[in-house]
Amino acid sequence: MIEKMSAENQAASLTGWLPSCSIPDERRKTVASYRRIEVKPIAGALGAQIANVDLGKLDDETFREIEAAWLEHLVVFFRNQTVTPEQQIAFAKRFGEVHYHPFMKGMDEHPEILEIIKEEGDTRAFGEVWHTDQMFNPKPAKATILYAKETPDAGGDTLFANMYLAYDALSDPMKEMLKGIKTWNVGDRKKLSRNDEIGSTRDGRYAGNDKMAAKVRDPGDLQTESAHPLVRTHPETGRKVLYISNHTQTLDGFKRAEARPILDFLMTHAVQPIPLGGWFAGDLGQPLHPAPRTQRLSGQASAYASDHHRG
């Protein structure tokens, strides 16, 4: 999925591609089938709040319902949660092996968790452009768990876009043209900056925020450039999804001048937001990566729960 976070801090808004906020019938039908949790869809394209659950005390049957709701609604929120780092990590591991960010260090005592800190006066935010987490990796993260610890009174919205619908809305000739095409995706901000695809390098973007600057690290020998299909099929839902991000630099095998108009169209096409909702202290959100696109927000600790898939 692609997330987009604003430069303000920690409130989140769900957005969708659809020009209406009405909830489709197929997403309403599943709500009554849950026995252990309460699921409330909150936007026309994606998103749901899950209630009647304590993530610190989770049994297997309840988790199975959470996972089913997540696959159905793509982004799920749990309000008023109080979880320890150990509990957040345990929740993440239910989805698969935890993924470590190659460019940013995790917490000293809990390296699985990347603590994102926004200081007063910061003009930049972590994940402030439309992106799909870790798309530059050979096996991108399956999901991201964001736990809001401190939030502003207003602003700091996080936007999400449903990439299933972005694909579905393409014309049949366009879908046919995109078959078999792969994207080339880059994680190194120095390369992204040289290509004018992103604002500043990691070294420069945290000037004045010593806590975030101290987290920046060299990925060493880890692969941080990868090719991926432009159209992928989710392994669990079987749905096709448009797989594109700000990490996408070109189309594999294309001349850059040939690829740029196609990528510009697809990026614009995929992002037609309808903001709803918001982050509150104690909230924990779970975005599903293969389906939506988002721009992600700063100010919360996050653990990547991954069994490294992506459609």
What is the torsional sign of CA 277, 28, 239, 21?
negative
pLDDT at 116: 82
pLDDT at 296: 36
Mean pLDDT (the chain) is 77
Tell me: pLDDT of 20 over 50. Answer: no
Cα distances from 62 to residues 210, 224, 283, in angstroms, run 40, 36, 18
**Percent of the chain topping pLDDT 70:** 71
Between 280 and 257, residue with greater pLDDT? 257
How many angstroms separate the CA atoms of 148 and 131, rounded? Answer: 19
Q: What is the pTM of this model?
A: 0.75
The domain ranges of the chain are 2-162+200-218+274-305
Per-residue pLDDT tens digits for 166-178: 999 999 999 999 9
Per-residue pLDDT tens digits for 108-164: 899 999 888 777 777 777 777 788 888 899 998 888 898 988 887 877 778 888 999
pLDDT at 30: 58
Name the CATH topology of 2-162+200-218+274-305.
Double-stranded beta-helix (3.60.130)
